[in-house]
A = this chain, B = another copy of it.
Amino acid sequence: MKLNVIFSPVQSDELFFTGKTTVVIDVLRASSTIIAALENGAKEVVPVGTIEFAVKVSGGMFGGQTLLGGERNTKKIEGFALGNSPSEYTKEIVSGKTIVFYSTNGSRAIVKAKYSDNLFICSFSNIEALADHLIKLNEDVLILCSGDNNFFSLEDSVCAGKLVKEITGKNSNVILTDSSNAARAMYKTFGKDIKKMLRETEHGQLLVKNGYENDLEFCSRLNGTNVIPVYSGSTLKVLK
């Protein structure tokens, strides 16, 4: 079992993912939000690569059953019912609903990886559950950090490193690459206090500045949920 990490989606193209088992991470905040939505009973999340496509897709579904959610450069999009704060995705609001979801980095990374054989979403909150599932699956795993507009994002890389550490801790038969080795080292250095780490990253600072400080608390939650979003037929649902 080989674990590889890609620190930015721009480092690969769509066909690169064909046949692979891929894990997409966008700690701040898309993957945390998608997990929260499914945890709170959303029927499914449909990740889309453009805002225009989000509007088009949602128009074709049953009005009352579909919600548009997401953000562009951390801010809510005009005409969208929900932003990208995981705390907005409560039981009352999302239960039974289809969420059409766009975000600057996360949803686009998921769409880019759509040709994967297995495609899962990871945040700090479901790392243990996902690590156990990946060990059972016993395939090589490609961990794709959504990054920040093509650039490196520390929080995604530290989360990738935690997933690597969790898997290598439970399975001695794992091969690491340069990048998965580096990610694990980053978790070791920055992972002791996840909330502090999130506050100090570039994206964390931007969120605090824009009034989303509470989201850092939410997104720093380590483990505690067994919800693993899995991509199939263009939508994300809870892995059964």
Contacts and interface: CB of A to CB of B under 8 A. Distances in A.
Interface string A174-190: 00011101100110111
Residue with the greatest number of chain B CB neighbours at <10 A, chosen from A151, A182, A186: A182
Contact of A179 (B6, B151, B188): B151
Nearest to A201: B178
Interface stretch (A7-15, A69-77, A109-117, A163-171): A7-15
Contact of A6 (B12, B151, B188): B151
Interface stretch (A47-55, A57-65, A152-160): A152-160
B178 A11 contact: no
A202 B151 CA distance: 22
Nearest to A11: B150
A81 B188 CA distance: 45
Nearest to A187: B185
Q: How many copies does the complex hold?
A: 2
Nearest to A150: B11
A178 B83 CA distance: 25
A5 interface: yes
Nearest to A190: B185
B157 A182 contact: yes
Nearest to A154: B178
Interface in A1-37: 5-8, 10-12
Interface string A187-222: 011100000000001110000000000000000000
B186 A151 contact: no
B150 A178 contact: no
A149 to B, nearest CB: 9
Residue with the greatest number of chain B CB neighbours at <10 A, chosen from A6, A10, A185: A185
Given A11-B150, A185-B185, 8 more contacts: A7-B7, A8-B8, A152-B178, A154-B179, A154-B182, A157-B182, A178-B202, A182-B186
**What are the 7 A-B residue pairs with the smallest beta carbon separation, nearest first?**
A154-B178, A185-B189, A152-B179, A11-B150, A178-B202, A178-B201, A182-B186
